[in-house]
Amino acid sequence: MKDRMRRSAITRRTVLGAGLALTAAPALAVGSTTTITAADGRAVTVSIWPAVDAERGVILFSHGALSRPEKYERLLGPWSQAGFKILAPLHVDSTDHPDNALHVKAMDSWRCRIEDMRALSAFAATPRYIAAGHSYGALVALTLGGAEGVPPAGVAGPMRDPRAKGVVAFSPPGIIPVLMTREGYARLAVPALIETGTADNPPPMLGGGDYRTHLAGYDAAPPGDKYALVLDGVDHFFGGLICETNVPGPPQTARLADAVAISTEFLGAYGAGDAAARAKLDAALKTSTGFILGRK
């Protein structure tokens, strides 16, 4: 690990306080769905998690490849309990999408994902939001925050959305020449939290390597409220708790609680302008067990 990522023996309960309590209550199920229209005329189904009590902010969430929004209940539910409204489209590469067979080529799904999020941003009609995602969806979220992806055929104009004021990226891919270069990641322009786990090793088809591959965006991005969260023993799916439930366990419940707590403080700090949340987030830089949180 780099020197800026520091450890301590103090329990995470001491650090995160009320943040961890968010995972104790049952997750709030998706409240409704709606349909929006992408630039190419496709109908895009959007799942909506309403904010509990007073709305503190809005999150636009992009799921991982082949997955669907509802498979992230253990992540999105606690965020909604923390006061954030979440809008999450069903992308065409999902195996549950009715038109999946029409968009099996990777670059076609890349185009559709970009168009989905552009349409979702227009639909949300909010002056500011946090872009969030997992895996393929994390790459999409980072482009909304300024990381300059390689544009697929049919996509024009900047991918960055000026209304995206921060990014939460769980396990984004590393450098994939047809999607994202190091120079592209270096254009990330907003505060970001980038997560991975020490057992989150990319498969050979995505370049191989170890978990540090997922930190390419953090390493390349310019300094300024960029956070890297590395969770001990965590794989790409938290042992089947998010994205893909049919993977070997055991479920990595305690580490997911850490991820929920840290990401919720980031959302409060940068999505709701909460100074207390920023203080808790920065406190975790010095005091952690089971994870390393670094900032530059």
CA–CA distances in Å: residue 50 to residues 28, 46, 53, 62, 184 = 9, 12, 9, 16, 33
Residue spans of the domains in the chain: they are 12-295
The predicted pLDDT at position 213 comes to: 97
156 close to 131: Cβ distance less than 8 angstroms: no
Q: Which fold has domain 12-295?
A: Rossmann fold (3.40.50)
- CA angle at residue 150 from 145 to 151, to 5 degrees? 90
Q: What is the mean pLDDT of residues 238-265?
A: 96
As a whole number, the mean pLDDT across the chain is 89
Q: Give 136-156 pLDDT, tens digit per residue.
A: 999 999 999 999 999 999 999
226 close to 187: Cβ distance less than 8 angstroms: no
Helices (H), 43-187: 73-81, 106-124, 136-144, 182-185
Q: Give 51-75 pLDDT, tens digit per residue.
A: 999 999 999 999 999 999 999 999 9
The SS3 of residue 170 is: strand
Q: What is the mean pLDDT of residues 2-17?
A: 32
Would you give the DSSP letter of residue 6?
Answer: B
pTM above 0.75, yes or no: yes
